[in-house]
A = this chain, B = another copy of it.
Amino acid sequence: MTEPSPLDDFRRLATQPLPDRSEAIAATAAREAQLIKPPGALGRLEEIAAFLTAVTGKAPPEVTRPRVVVFAASHGIVEEGVSPFPASVNAQMLAAFRDGKAAINQLCGANGIGLSVFDLAVDVPSGNIAREDAFASDKALAGTMAFGLEAIAGEVDCLGIGEMGIGNTAVAAAVYAALYGGGAAAWCGMGAGATGALFDSKVAAVARALERVGPIDDPLTVLKRLGGREIAAMVGAILAARTQGVPVIVDGFVASAAAAVVSSIDRAAIDHCLFAHRSAEAQHRRALEAMGVRPLLDLDMRLGEGTGAALAIGIVQAAAACHGGMATFAEAGVAGKG
């Protein structure tokens, strides 16, 4: 008999059946068809309204309590030379978030979005994946994933997930390579500014990590051996949001690695996720294609912090406002097609 794993609860969240929302979905589709515009003229805004109803069961959909959650973590792989910034920046950026001075503070403020920042012990790096597993045990991984449940506490109705952690594009590259193949070079980009010899060193470190672990079938084992705390917490947040009916707006390259882990458990387990933007990080396009998803924005951003998610939530709010606030042809006395 196999021992029960502390990860089993999370695996179940990925496949647990969801309530039947077909009635609400039909109601939103019916209202959409009656709004004073040519059918389909609001394009992806209409898709977003349908998506929100499918996830939440609410018709018309509403976004009144959006939140961006930023998970901050520290990575042992930094000692291999993968980033132009020192690991000490993690704690400094946490202070900037607290003081309202980082980019994500401005973007949340501009769109009326709540912001929560989780310090996943940035003073203690996770294992250097080039030499050892990121997490010492399934239990340690499960404990970090459990932060995801806190992320959706308090009736948040649209959750943006983002991260901060020097070295985490290297870790994300390792996760993608383990899930999708292709090798280290296929998944490494410049991150916060790794170019020239530093880029070569980053690719080499990721390649050593992949060689160390060999092929891995189980996505949560990929996460345990090659991931990092912010990716694990985002995996937990995506899984928790799924069964709670909370739409998730996934930020960029690193946040998408969390979605890739969940998607690899069960493709339908990311049906409640929207992808905020196509990052300027070179391999994000490949990651989005591997998941078969189309992002909302393409603004050459590559900062992380949930900045793309915050902008995308502005679009999601606008979509809900259009669907909910527009008149129907009958209400407005507007003539339909002649």
Contact = CB atoms under 8 A, between A and B. Distances in A.
Contacts of A95: 332-333
B103 A37 contact: yes
A88 interface: yes
A93 interface: yes
Contacts of A86: 335, 338
A338 B88 CA distance: 10
Contacts of A322: 103, 106-107
A279 to B, nearest CB: 9
Q: How many monomers of this chain does the complex have? A: 2
A146 interface: no
Contacts of A192: 38, 41
A106 B321 contact: yes
A289 interface: no
A84 B303 contact: no
Interface residues of A, number: 64
A92 B303 contact: no
Nearest to A37: B303
A322 B296 CA distance: 20
A322 B324 CA distance: 30
Interface string A34-64: 0111111111110000000000000000000
Chain A interface mostly: loop
Contact of A193 (B102, B105, B317, B337): B337
A334 B39 contact: no
Contacts of A3: none
B37 A193 contact: no
Interface string A198-216: 0000000000000000000
Given A36-B96, A317-B110, A338-B84, A307 B42 contact: yes
A105 B38 contact: no
Q: Which of A99, A310, A338 has the most CB of B within 10 A?
A: A338
Given A111-B314, A296-B299, 8 more contacts: A38-B84, A84-B338, A100-B325, A107-B322, A110-B321, A193-B337, A299-B315, A314-B318
Interface of A: 35-45, 83-86, 88-89, 92-93, 95-96, 99-103, 105-107, 109-111, 192-193, 280, 296-303, 307, 310-311, 314-315, 317-318, 321-322, 324-327, 331-338
